[in-house]
Structures are given as structure tokens and as C-alpha cells.
Amino acid sequence: MVDEEQYVRYREDSKVLAAIGEHVDAQVGRVTVRLPRAVAEAAVAAWERDELGEIGEETHEQYELRDQAGDLALIGLAISDDGRWEGEEVVVDLPVGSAGAAVRASQ
């Protein structure tokens, strides 16, 4: 049996997290990062890739993998639009949410 009160608390927690996010975004908004060429090129390739198939029912793990692939593609878009190549690295200003998604994926 699901404790509905628990999900009411979680919904309120979600609102607080969003409020914190608004303050963080106002303070940092974008984060300048340096990425090695190989991962930068892979991110751009993810952005340029066409996913033509329909998405059917997914497991939680499949949804998370697809969500992470979408985050990677958005980083690839940022690199394509605004990245500056400096030798074997690209310097790019990422939205803090994209940078955070990359950090979460690494943990």
C-alpha cells in the first residue's frame, strides 16, 4: 500500500528543490568547462544523431538511460553552437543544469 502522505511531502520537497534551483541558476546560470576532444566530439555526435524509432514502454533504467542520452545531446548542442576549440580541448559555457546532469551521471 502506498502512503499518500509520503508523496504529499515529496511534492513539497520537490517545490523546495525547485526554489533552490532558481536561486542557484540566478547566481551561476552557466558554467565554463574544458572538455577533452574525444568526449566533446561524442557529445556533438549525440546531438547530430537521429533517433527514428518509437519509444514504447520502458523500464525505469531504460528511461534514465534515455534521459541521460538527451542530456548528453544538449551538451553537444552547446558545443556545436558555442564551443571554442583550444588544441585538444573544447571550452564551452554549459547551463548549470547540463553540467549538473553530467556530474550526477559520473557518480
User: According to the model, what pLDDT value does residue 70 have?
Assistant: 94
State the pLDDT at residue 27.
92
Domain extents in the chain: 29-106
Read off the C-alpha cell for 6: 509520503
> What pTM, to 2 d.p., does this model score?
0.84
Q: What per-residue confidence (pLDDT) applies to 2?
A: 66
Per-position pLDDT tens, the chain of length 107: 567 888 899 999 999 999 998 998 889 989 999 999 999 999 999 999 988 778 889 999 999 999 999 999 999 999 999 999 999 999 999 999 999 999 999 99
